[in-house]
Amino acid sequence: MEKNYFQKRNQSISDKILAFDFQLLLLILALGTISILAMYSSEMGHFSYYTQSHLYRFSIFFLIFIIISFFRIQFWYKSAYLFYFLVMILLFGVDLFGVTASGSKRWISLFFINLQPSELMKVSLIIFLARYYDKIPTTNVNNLKYIFIPFLSFMIPAFLVASQPDLGTAVLIAISGLIVIWLTGFKIKYFLYSFFVLFCLIPIGISFLKPYQKTRILTFLNPERDPLGAGYQIIQSKIAVGSGGIFGKGFLQGSQSYLDYLPEKQTDFIFTLFSEEFGFIGSLILLTIYALIIYRIAVIGSESRNNFARLFCFGFAAAFFVYVTVNMAMVLGLLPIVGAPLPIMSYGGSSMLSIMVGLGIVMSCKIHNQEDLS
Amino acid sequence: MRSFSETFQNKANLISRRMFILSTIKVGVFVSIISRLFYLQISENIKYRSLSDKNRFREWKLVPQRGIIEDFFGNKIADNTQTFQLYMTPEDVPNLEELFFKLSKIIDFNETKRKRLIKRLKKRKPWEPIIVSDNLSWPEFSKLNLFLHEMQGVKPVVALARKYSEDGSSSHIVGYVSEVSVKDLESTEWLREINVPGLKIGKNGLEKFLNKRIVGQPGIQRFEVNAYGKRIKELELFKGNAGENFRTTLDQEVQKFTSELIKKKSGSVCVMDIYTGDIVSLVSNPTFDPNKFVHGISQEDWQALIKDTKKPLINKSMAGLYPPGSTIKPIVALSALENDVISPKFTVECRGSVDLYDRTYHCWKEKGHGFMNLRNGIKQSCDIYFYEVARRLGVDRLSVTAKQFGLGQKVLGTFFEERSGVVPNTKWKLKNIGKGWYLGETLIAGIGQGYFQSTPIQLCLMTAQLANGGYKIKPKIIYNEQNFQTTTEDGGEKFKQLYRNQENVKFILDAQFGATNEPMGTSYRSRHVKPEYIYAGKTGTSQTRTITAEERKLKLKQKDLPYKKRDHALFIAFAPYRNPRYAFSVVIEHGGTGSSAAAPIAKKVIRKVLDRHKLRTKYQSDLFKEV
């Protein structure tokens, strides 16, 4: 039975390998390599904890990515709901048995690994929505009957994640959900209505924010408000990026990160470290790699013969784009610091796993793009 | 089936269309991120680069080497010597208590020092080295080095510290250095710029006056530091400049000799070159050991100095105020002659006392001097004679002459501790006391009592300016420097004439010769017989209080009076009488009469100074040749 998912009537393993999108594969490998080098630099040129575990994770998750891409698209189509609900259970599990670190309960201990289900929710939500909308005709998308489930599907996890509290990931989940819904033909005016309602709800929402979240927003509006406290991160990050110049300070030469002025340099601020050392040119190259990955995902989506794959790829491309730009805009002082990792570059297992699973499904779409779901 | 595929196609089209819209937005966002990067990294690069450097680099200043103060002959009065210090880097010490215990066995590190150190430690970062002890003895230091392997985190250091000559003869004039205080920083702007931990700053005397030039330029060490302020590596080193060295006009040999002479007394001796204004000796007693201040004086030592009634910390030569007493008589006489109030032949009969303005004014000689002319009046220091001269002269004219010759104003003007004294006149009294002048006060002003207040160095300058024939000189203590007063009233003219008729000055000098070298002269007993030492002088005995009529009847001897009530003994002199070169002033606080307590000291000092005169001139001409 399982073999069925692996092999279609006329596609052998070698056929599948040949059907790989090698451009995407190379881009992912390039990004992985850059991320390991950046991690190496974040440890002042020592091959120690962060670099090692980042390398191991990337290797393992890359393997998982390859394996996932061999699964037939039907498998993902059929197990989409299951996948979503499993992650949902984990998310509830976090609320009940979660591991608390630095003030928020985000992780769940699965004996061998500390998992962050909110990261996995990012990709499972997209699968869920792609699966849900696959069968609904365009004309019915705006039907009230078909609105509730999609909206609940992203609002419940977003609410759970926000209460961990992890506002950044909650917002990212909500945004990726909304994008997929919009892609299916949801009328823009409804968005405008709901945004208006949301806008009216902002004052109420603010009262629910934790004090540190309020500080973050205020700090974003004026980082010099408290240069040694809450504004410290963004000020130091801007100094690091700005001092990089056109060509950067050179590999392992970033004084801001080397001398510990840069906070969270392995996770959210890894782009700052990279940008300080490789400058404007390096940052452009990194941005190009990300842009090409997004482009490839979109191309794969448009080449797909079924709407599930198409919707998933487009949704994932959009979400991937949002992750990248939110992180960069954040470290460049264009958005408040909300805690959004940079895909693959940032240290963090769950985030990378989520991205690699997503990319694996995309690759599966590519390999099996001639298949119909019927 | 057709409808299904149609819907599929419709849907695919819709999704693709929306995807295209989304892609346009994506491109827009990417462009904005790129422009943000461009703004930060290219447009504002210089700003952020300098901010990054400001983060990175931290400067540490190094204590500069203080300049040396020498006497005229190049003997070091204030020198720098090696001291042995112990530094500790707290973060490298595994166990502070254990270290303190070990230290207490090796060096002088008692409980109070331990507490003080712990207090200081709390204010500092653990990687900043802290001084545990800044003045170890050699045995302590060598022992420390021997046991160093047992103590982690400490570092013995050989550093430079101020060292003063131990006899203390120049303590007052040279002053001392000590740690920079908050007050110093508040009051001195340049100090704020160069202040370094461990810097010592002059608190007194020349050390204070020369501070700015003698302190030197601190060295700078540039370090790269991390976000927590820890030094990562040294980048640059500027060694700094040592402070200027200064050569003074003092003669350390005379200083020591003089200091020894008045060791048990409280007083001052000043010696000045009457032509150049060089201060050869300026001694104040009792003295103190300035070395004690360098590393912070102990509480007991400080209390002992403060509580001493003889006030060892005060530089009596310029901060001690005494009524000039009879030493002012040459000036009174000169003023009267210059103003044509009297002629040398003017005669007064002294009967021991005189009744004027409803009061009785006494002469120091109870039986009276009989008929006195001016020369004898000075020679025998007859008070009755000078009451009459003063009465005719008036205090205002007297004050003009007294001020001309240096009384009532600062002599060096460069020492913050120097005082200007008082030359009273009618205006002065009205302004400062708020009352009109009484005629009786003119009489006692004529014998240098009453409101008159002068410092020993003023008396010395007054004597010098008489002895050189009546010319203004500018006393100085730093060799090679004309004067610290940059602007002079006389427009920089070197010798300003202070007299109207030089014969008058000559007459006064001759009368002083009589006072020392002729029988009946007040300092006859302290004269020198050897021709090369013959000098002329004038005694003075200044009362510290009014003598009551009862006391006069009792004929109390000075030594029977309590110390504080005894008179100050004063003596001024110039030597040698022929071709005079040096002026002297001696003040012995509560020493009794000038002739018995001050003149004998002056006699010895004069001999010493004259003995060294040849050496001094030779040394000076050698210096000129070198130049």
Domain count, chain B: 2
How far from B153 is each of A265, B85, B149, B157, B198, CA to CA, in Å? 32, 14, 10, 13, 20
Q: What secondary structure does DSSP assign to A182-238, as a single string?
A: HHTT--HHHHHHHHHHHHHHHHHHHHHS-HHHHHHHHHHH-GGGSTTTTTHHHHHHH
User: For residue B120, what pLDDT is reported?
Assistant: 81
> Is B18's CB within 8 Å of A311's CB?
no
Out of B30, B47, B48, the one facing A291 most closely (by C-beta) is B30
Name the band, by pLDDT with cuts 50, 70 and 90, for residue B275: confident
With contact defined as beta carbons under 8 Å apart, do B109 and B133 qualify?
yes
Write out chain A residues lying below 8 Å of B41, CB-based. Answer: 241-242, 244-246, 275, 279-280, 283
Residue B371 CB: number of other CB atoms within 10 A?
Answer: 11
* Statement: residue B525 has pLDDT above 80: yes
> Rounded to the nearest 5 degrees, what angle is found at the Cα of B269, between the Cα atoms of B265 and B271?
165
Residue B49 contacts A, CB cutoff 8 Å: yes
Instruction: Give the residue-averaged pLDDT of B469-498.
Output: 65
With contact defined as beta carbons under 8 Å apart, do B211 and B240 qualify?
no
Q: Which structural domain range is residue B591 located in?
A: 252-288+314-480+494-626
Q: A52-81: per-residue pLDDT in tens?
A: 999 999 999 999 999 999 988 889 899 999
Q: B397-426: per-residue pLDDT in tens?
A: 999 999 989 888 888 878 888 888 999 989
> Rounded mean pLDDT of chain B?
85
Same domain (yes/no): B262, B215: no
Out of A183, A240, A307, the one facing B18 most closely (by C-beta) is A183
What residues of chain A score a pLDDT lower than 70?
1-10, 102-103, 219-230, 373-374
* Region label for B80, one of left (φ > 0), alpha (ψ between -120 and 50) or beta (otherwise): beta
Within a domain: residue B594?
yes
> Is A179's CB within 8 Å of B41's CB?
no
Name the residue among B285, B283, B281, B282 with its Cα closest to residue B266. B285
CA distance A223 to chain B (A): 15
User: For residue A336, what pLDDT is reported?
Assistant: 83
User: For residue B485, what pLDDT is reported?
Assistant: 38
**What is the spatial distance between Cα A307 and Cα A309, in angstroms, rounded to a whole number?**
5
Q: What secondary structure does DSSP assign to B261-283, as a single string?
A: HTTTS-EEEEEEETTT-BEEEEE
Within a domain: residue B418?
yes
Q: Which of B231, B247, B263 is the last residue of a domain?
A: B247
* Statement: residue B359 has pLDDT above 90: no
> Is B51's CB within 8 Å of A242's CB?
yes
What is the SS3 assignment for B470?
Answer: coil
Parallel, antiparallel or unpaired: strands B246-247 and B69-70 = parallel
Q: How far is CA B36 from the centre of its chain?
A: 63
In 3-state terms chain B splits into helix, strand, coil percentages (rounded to 5) of 45, 20, 35
Name the band, by pLDDT with cuts 50, 70 and 90, for residue B488: very low
Residue A93 contacts B, CB cutoff 8 Å: no
Q: B215-228: per-residue pLDDT in tens?
A: 888 888 888 887 77
Same domain (yes/no): B135, B273: no
Which of B24, B47, B52 is most worth mutating to test chain A (most A CB atoms within 10 A of its CB)?
A: B52
User: For residue B487, what pLDDT is reported?
Assistant: 37
Same domain (yes/no): B170, B113: yes
Instruction: Give the residue-averaged pLDDT of B603-608.
Output: 90
What is the SS3 assignment for B365?
Answer: coil
Residue B204 CB: number of other CB atoms within 10 A?
Answer: 22
User: For residue B484, what pLDDT is reported?
Assistant: 36
User: For residue B150, what pLDDT is reported?
Assistant: 79
* Statement: residue B87 has pLDDT above 50: yes
CA distance B54 to chain A (A): 10
Instruction: Give the residue-averaged pLDDT of B358-380.
Output: 87
> Is A244's CB within 8 Å of B41's CB?
yes
Within a domain: residue B196?
yes
How far from B154 is each of B116, B146, B159, CA to CA, in Å? 17, 13, 15
Residue B57 contacts A, CB cutoff 8 Å: no
Out of A182, A245, A325, the one facing B49 most closely (by C-beta) is A245
* Statement: residue B546 has pLDDT above 80: no
User: For residue A240, what pLDDT is reported?
Assistant: 93
> Is A255's CB within 8 Å of B225's CB?
no
Which CATH number characterizes residue B162's domain? 3.90.1310.10
Q: Which residue has the tokens 């204010």?
A: B123
This prediction's pTM: 0.65
**What is the spatial distance between Cα A374 and Cα A306, in angstroms, rounded to a whole number?**
9
Instruction: Give the residue-averaged pLDDT of B461-475.
Output: 89
Q: Which residue has the tokens 């160093």?
A: B148
User: For residue B2, what pLDDT is reported?
Assistant: 45
Same domain (yes/no): B225, B208: yes
* Statement: residue B143 has pLDDT above 60: yes
CA distance B147 to chain A (A): 36
Residue A293 contacts B, CB cutoff 8 Å: no
Ranking A109-118, B99-108, B256-265, B545-554 by mean pLDDT, the lowest is B545-554
Give the sign of the dihedral formed by CA B172, CA B176, CA B181, CA B186.
Answer: positive
CA distance B120 to chain A (A): 26
And the tokens for B286? 């009792």
Same domain (yes/no): B499, B620: yes
Which CATH number characterizes residue B403's domain? 3.40.710.10
Q: Which residue has the tokens 């009174």?
A: B332
**Chain B residue closest to A280 (CA)?**
B41
User: For residue A219, what pLDDT is reported?
Assistant: 67
Write out chain B residues lying below 8 Å of A325, CB-based. Answer: 29-30, 33
**What is the spatial distance between Cα A314 and Cα A309, in angstroms, rounded to a whole number?**
8
* Statement: residue B107 has pLDDT above 90: no
User: For residue B3, what pLDDT is reported?
Assistant: 55
Q: Which of B218, B247, B276 is the last residue of a domain?
A: B247
Q: What secondary structure does DSSP assign to B547-590, as a single string?
A: PPHHHHHHT--GGGS-GGGSPEEEEEEEE-SSS--EEEEEEETT
Within a domain: residue B41?
no
Write out chain A residues lying below 8 Å of B12, CB-based. Answer: 307, 310
Instruction: Produce one character per residue of A295-329: b if its CB has 16 or more CB atoms within 10 Å, e if not.
Output: bbbbbbbbebbbbbbbbbbbbbbbbbbbbbbbbbb
> Is B226's CB within 8 Å of A183's CB?
no
**What is the spatial distance between Cα A360 and Cα A357, in angstroms, rounded to a whole number?**
5
Domain ranges (residues) in chain A: 2-367
And the tokens for A29? 């490998």
CA distance B118 to chain A (A): 28
Residue B546 CB: number of other CB atoms within 10 A?
Answer: 8
Same domain (yes/no): B468, B361: yes
And the tokens for A366? 């590519």
**What is the spatial distance between Cα B327 and Cα B333, in angstroms, rounded to a whole number?**
11
Q: B166-197: per-residue pLDDT in tens?
A: 788 888 888 898 888 888 888 888 888 887 77
Within a domain: residue B43?
no
Same domain (yes/no): B210, B329: no
Same domain (yes/no): B198, B275: no
> Is B36's CB within 8 Å of A334's CB?
yes
Out of A294, A318, A325, the one facing B33 most closely (by C-beta) is A325
Write out chain A residues lying below 8 Å of B227, CB-based. Answer: 259-261
Instruction: Give the residue-averaged pLDDT of B297-306.
Output: 86
Same domain (yes/no): B184, B219: yes
Same domain (yes/no): B279, B232: no
> Is A182's CB within 8 Å of B29's CB?
no
Q: A361 vs B298, which has greater pLDDT?
A: A361
Out of A184, A242, A255, the one facing B41 most closely (by C-beta) is A242
Same domain (yes/no): B409, B265: yes
Within a domain: residue B67?
yes
Sheet holding B279-285, edge to edge: B279-285, B267-273, B582-588, B568-575, B536-542
Instruction: Give the residue-averaged pLDDT of B293-318.
Output: 86
Within a domain: residue B306?
no
Out of B45, B225, B232, the one facing A245 most closely (by C-beta) is B45
Ranking A222-226, B124-128, B332-336, B519-523 by mean pLDDT, the lowest is A222-226
> Is A332's CB within 8 Å of B36's CB?
yes
Which of A133, A243, A260 is most worth mutating to test chain B (most B CB atoms within 10 A of its CB)?
A: A243
Residue A346 contacts B, CB cutoff 8 Å: no
Strand partners, B472: B496
User: For residue B141, what pLDDT is reported?
Assistant: 87
Ranking B60-69, B168-177, B244-253, B475-484 by mean pLDDT, the lowest is B475-484
Same domain (yes/no): B282, B211: no
Name the band, by pLDDT with cuts 50, 70 and 90, for residue B489: very low
Ranking A33-47, B25-39, B66-80, B467-481 by mean pLDDT, the lowest is B467-481
* Statement: residue B8 has pLDDT above 50: yes
Measured in degrees and rounded to the nearest 5, phi and psi for residue B55 equal: -65, -45
Assign 3-class secondary structure to A240-262: HHHHHCCCCCCCCCCHHHHCCCC
* Statement: residue B486 has pLDDT above 60: no
Instruction: Give the residue-averaged pLDDT of B347-375.
Output: 87
Question: Counting every residue, how long is chain A?
Answer: 374
Q: Which of B214, B247, B280 is the last residue of a domain?
A: B247
Instruction: Give the residue-averaged pLDDT of B436-442.
Output: 87
